[in-house]
Structure 1
Amino acid sequence: MFDILMYLFENYIHNESEIFVEESVLTDELLKAGFNSPEIYKALDWLEQLAQLQYSDESPYLDRTPAAACRIYTGEESIKLDIQCQGFLLFLEQVGVINSTTREMVIDRAMALDHAQIALDDLKWVVLMVLLSVPGQEHAYAQMEDLIFDDPNPTLH
């Protein structure tokens, strides 16, 4: 499923900010690219759920978190997002790339991936997809792109 999300991100989302292709046409193209149907539907559902997170008035991710709050990960989250991933999310929040709302959206979407554990590089792509999907986060998206593409081994202070 993650490979499909990457394919969509690189070929559609990154360039146009939204997928304007009809789902059946997109599904056909993904099938021709060699992806299987169950994984395609999982990936499209993942993207749909991401869109619902940002547009829901009742979203649990509305930014109501006090500035000094500390995120405590559940047991399941700690297994899927190791200490390196958790530290990276904390770093992104501390430098202002993400806020508590986008952090929770990233965690939600990472937990929805069908991986037992999420690699740091995969988490970075999830962060990019979330930031690209949230209106008004263009500067944060650009910062995240710089972190990923400009310096392969950034120094975290």
Structure 2
Amino acid sequence: MMMDILMYLFETYVHSDADLQVDQDELEDELLRAGFKQKDIYKALEWLEDLAELQNTDNHSAIAMSAATSTRIYTAQEMTRMDVKSRGLLMFLEQIGVLTTETREMVIDRVMGLETNDFELDDLKWIILMVLFNVPGNENAYTLMEELIYTAERGVVH
């Protein structure tokens, strides 16, 4: 349910170019009117705050300095949440330059921040878009990711 709220917000406020400066109370009211539960709304808004906070911390300075040839080893919890296809997508996107080691770690952090046992490849794609949209300097990567998603949906793969 939290993923539904995040996708609703992303589509409503990003893809529609709606005003992103929305009062949190108004936003909560809108989500309640849309049929979402208060508890899920709070979790989704907290998830978004945590995403914004990732940009403001120096946690990723060691990641940014890691070698391009390094390999990401996933924890047992990460492998439980993200199946082989999800991990393969992350590796592919990193290899073609859509994700950096830093944005990859932000994506993994936000995947693990979801409170769900129902995590699918499509959910990962949305989270990647949200991370790339929210991290300054990733406009080209965001556009490329969007193109990859919509091309795959049409069944055209290069």
Tell me the TM-score range normalised by the shorter chain. Answer: over 0.9
Bigger mean CA deviation after superposition, 145-154 or 1-10 = 145-154
In structure 2, relative to structure 1, the CA distance for the partners of 1:76 and 1:147 (3 Å cut) is same
Measured against aligned partners, the alpha-carbon deviations of 1:28-86 in whole angstroms (never above 9, x if no partner) come to 11001110100000000000000000122x22365121110000000000000011100
Partner residue, 1:101: 102
Checking the alignment, whether the CA contact within 8 Å between 1:147 and 1:154 is kept in structure 2 is: no
Counterpart of 1:25 in structure 2 is: 26
Once the 2 structures are TM-superposed, how far is the Cα of residue 17 of structure 1 from its aligned partner?
Answer: 8.8
Listed as ranges, the gaps of 5+ residues in structure 1 are none
Identity of aligned residues (%): 50
> Residue 152 of structure 2: SS of its match in structure 1?
coil
Indicate the residue corresponding to 2:59 in structure 1.
59
**Aligned partner of residue 64 in structure 2, secondary structure:** coil
Cα distance in structure 1, aligned partners of 2:145 and 2:36: 28
* Matched-pair contact (CA < 8 Å) for 2:12–2:18: no
Runs of 4 or more, structure 1, over 6 Å off, are none
Structure 2 length-normalised TM: 0.92
Look up the SS of the partner of 2:98 in the other structure.
coil
Q: Displacement, 1:18?
A: 7.6
Alignment gaps of 5+ in structure 2: none
Amino acid at match of 2:27: L
Length, aligned pairs only: 155
1:1-157 correspondence runs (5 A): 1-16=2-17, 19-56=20-57, 58-60=58-60, 62-152=63-153, 153=155, 155=157
Deviations 1:82-106 (A, max 9, x none): 1110000000000000010000000
**Amino acid paired to 1:96:** G
The structural deviation recorded for 1:150 is 2.3
What secondary structure does 1:144 align onto? helix
- TM, length-normalised to structure 1: 0.92
What is the rounded CA distance, in whole Å, between the counterparts of 1:18 and 1:75 in structure 2? 40
